[in-house]
Amino acid sequence: MRTVILANGAPPTAADISAWLRPGDRLYCADGGGRAALALGLRPTLVIGDFDSLDAAALEALRARGAVIERHPTHKDETDLELAVLRAAREGAEDIVILGALGGRFDHALANALLLGLPALARVRARLAAGPETVMLLRGPGTLALEGAAGDLISLLPIGEATGITTEGLEYPLREERLGLGPARGVSNVMLGPRASVRVEQGALLCVQIREAGSNA
């Protein structure tokens, strides 16, 4: 089961929706992500958050489109997006795509990317997407298969320290190597063809793919 979540960052475009939202997907909105759903004519199944970014009229419009409204206290430990991600994981989502989570405040965008490290997502395929960019998390030991096109940029950003990194199909190969916090060695690698892979033995890597024009999502 696949869940698409609209966050309250830079709103997704119609092209983002076309690329990622498929028939049969569940659509959740994290608080202000509901505005994007209304603007794009979408019918979310759930709108969740403390609703400091949605007024009563917007909530009623979303309810009229069939959305379940789940209100949480303003004083809470989780962000609205975290609540939406955890709800999707509890309901058995095997694939989660988060739109509208990048852009805007840097602290929000970084926190949103780090949500991919939630223990609840350990066995879920989860990523953030915006335009040509997709952000994924690879936990060791594990392998990430990448699909795209020759010329796509791939950046590997360690969270702390990641070791035993091996890549295939990238212009600058890594062979059982280490990436640590600080040096930017993993930035802007390049796919040589439509498929590549990254393996890490220990630690975790944020993998950012920036697609060339015409590369499929």
Please name every residue paired with 139 in a beta bridge, in sequence order, or none if there are none: 204
Contact 103, 33 (CB under 8 A): no
Ordered per-residue pLDDT tens for the chain, 217 residues: 999 999 999 999 999 999 999 999 999 999 999 999 999 999 999 999 999 999 999 999 999 999 999 999 999 999 999 999 999 999 999 999 999 999 878 999 999 999 999 999 999 999 999 999 999 999 999 999 999 999 999 999 999 999 999 999 999 999 999 999 999 999 999 999 999 999 999 999 999 999 986 555 5
State CA 16 to chain mean position distance: 12
Amino acid identity for residue 23 in this structure: P
- DSSP SS3 for 41: coil
**pTM score of the predicted model:** 0.94
Please name every residue paired with 180 in a beta bridge, in sequence order, or none if there are none: 161
Please state the domain extents for the chain.
2-131, 137-210
Please name every residue paired with 5 in a beta bridge, in sequence order, or none if there are none: 28, 98
In terms of CATH architecture, what is 2-131?
Answer: 3-Layer(aba) Sandwich (3.40)
Q: How are beta strands 195-200 and 161-168 bridged, if at all?
A: antiparallel
Please give the CATH superfamily to which domain 137-210 belongs: Thiamin pyrophosphokinase, thiamin-binding domain (2.60.120.320)
